[in-house]
């Protein structure tokens, strides 16, 4: 494990110390205060931070290992699901063997909830939770790094530069994933780098090539089969970050460079956690045990399973009905769009909250999953 010292999750014997550091991290406490009690954080910051630290010390006192921390996360997830969703539908868990370890490859819509809700489903159904692959470009603060490593997160070094360093980072990640599966740990990783902010879910063949770096001289098929790859399809009715994503996509489409404001990833993280998501579905696909010709064919099979298991909601069809340009206009002819007046009024009200200049992209974000599946002939 020494080869992975700079990317691995925390071990059990490191948990207590790291939790104490978090409680004493003023930046972390201020971040929590700004989301949990924004008014108090503005008008009585010292008071709310003091009270939060007292509460956090009591909260972490019984936690001695990773399992203890994840039990706390499970309680937090239960609260988020109860208050931020209309419920999560889990499908396909009968395809999994609790005695086996898997590499879950999913579409990526939310920074934290994708892996958290997968873990919650596994945890409540008697499976072990996963090690979570995270790009180090997302980690902008020490407390974010600690929280992710406490929750079995490991880092893929995407911020390195130079061909040799990039290759070394990818090889390290590939070997760590292989070692994780072989040592009895399941892993979650997104199908491509970053969230699919435009709603178009596509597996990057480069991901499969990265996974294959650890195979050495072995043939591709036996190695891929040893990883027990399982496609995972994630559907959210509403995206709490839809306006933020629409703004970024609008700037990029205009030909300008989108300059991400400082702290935007933390804002997206918090919005994703606490925002309303409506109905949610996690659908487990069939493990990839067949033979493939190359990484591209593997990526396409993952896409086929993810797209075929997506759930579409009234907002997806409503957004499609509002886009008059091609290819959306043509796609509408293949879809049965039946939206109640109540749903239409509620969705129109949601659109009104998005600034005018971003509304085209806002609608595309919700219509694109339908477009993507229709184009894929699934």
For residues 241 and 246, what is the distance between their CA atoms, to the nearest angstrom?
Answer: 9
Name the fold adopted by 66-307. Glycerol-3-phosphate (1)-acyltransferase (3.40.1130)
Q: Tell which residue, 129, 56, 113, 122, has the closest CA to residue 90.
A: 122
Tell me whether the omega of the peptide bond preceding residue 84 falls within 30 degrees of 0, making it cis.
no
**DSSP bridge pairs for 187:** 103, 131
> Cβ(74)–Cβ(122) under 8 Å?
no
Q: Tell which residue, 114, 213, 198, 235, has the closest CA to residue 167.
A: 213
Residue 23 has what pLDDT? Answer: 95
Residue 35 has what pLDDT? Answer: 80
Ranges of residues in the chain whose predicted pLDDT is under 50:
none
What DSSP element (H or E) covers 298? helix 295-308
- Per-residue pLDDT tens digits for 172-230: 999 999 999 999 999 999 999 888 999 999 999 999 999 999 998 889 899 999 999 99
Give the total residue count for the chain.
Answer: 378
DSSP 139-189: --SHHHHHHHHHTTEEEE--S--SHHHHHHHHHHHHHHHHHHHHTT-EEEE
Could you tell me where in the chain the CATH 3.40.1130 domains are found? 66-307
Q: Tell which residue, 187, 212, 190, 188, has the closest CA to residue 201.
A: 190
Residue 279 has what pLDDT? Answer: 97
Residue 339 has what pLDDT? Answer: 84
Residue 317 has what pLDDT? Answer: 94
């Amino acid at each position: 494990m020494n080869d992975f010292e700079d990317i691995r999750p925390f071990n059990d014997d490191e948990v207590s110390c790291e939790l104490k550091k978090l409680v004493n991290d003023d930046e972390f406490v201020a971040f929590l205060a700004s989301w949990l009690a924004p008014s108090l954080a503005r008008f009585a910051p010292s008071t709310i931070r003091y009270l939060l630290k007292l509460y956090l010390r009591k909260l972490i006192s019984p936690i001695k290992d990773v399992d203890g921390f994840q039990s706390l996360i499970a309680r937090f997830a239960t609260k988020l699901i109860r208050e931020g969703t209309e419920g999560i539908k889990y499908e396909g868990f009968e395809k999994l063997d609790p005695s086996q370890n898997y590499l879950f490859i999913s579409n990526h819509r939310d920074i934290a909830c994708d892996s958290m809700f997968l873990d919650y489903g596994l945890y409540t159904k008697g499976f072990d939770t996963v090690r979570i692959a995270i790009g180090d470009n997302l980690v902008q603060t020490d407390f974010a790094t600690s929280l992710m490593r406490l929750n079995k997160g490991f880092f893929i070094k995407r911020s390195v530069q130079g061909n040799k360093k990039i290759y070394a980072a990818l090889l390290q990640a590939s070997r760590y994933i292989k070692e994780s599966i072989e040592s009895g740990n399941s892993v979650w990783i997104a199908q491509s780098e970053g969230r699919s902010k435009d709603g178009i879910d596509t597996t990057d063949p480069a991901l499969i090539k990265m996974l294959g770096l650890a195979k050495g001289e072995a043939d591709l098929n036996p190695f891929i089969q040893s990883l027990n790859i399982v496609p995972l399809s994630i559907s959210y009715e509403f995206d709490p970050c839809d306006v933020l994503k629409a703004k970024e996509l609008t700037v990029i489409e205009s030909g300008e460079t989108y300059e991400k404001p400082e702290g935007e990833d933390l804002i997206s993280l918090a919005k994703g956690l606490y925002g309303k998501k409506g109905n949610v579905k996690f659908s487990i696909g069939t493990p990839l045990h067949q033979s493939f010709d190359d990484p591209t064919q593997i990526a396409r099979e993952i896409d086929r399973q993810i797209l075929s298991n997506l759930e579409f909601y009234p907002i997806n069809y409503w957004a499609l009905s509002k886009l008059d340009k091609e290819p959306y206009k043509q796609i509408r002819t293949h879809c049965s769009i039946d939206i109640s007046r109540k749903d239409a009024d509620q969705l129109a009200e949601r659109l009104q909250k998005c600034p005018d200049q971003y509304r085209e992209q806002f609608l595309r974000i919700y219509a694109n999953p339908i477009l993507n599946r229709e184009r894929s002939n699934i």
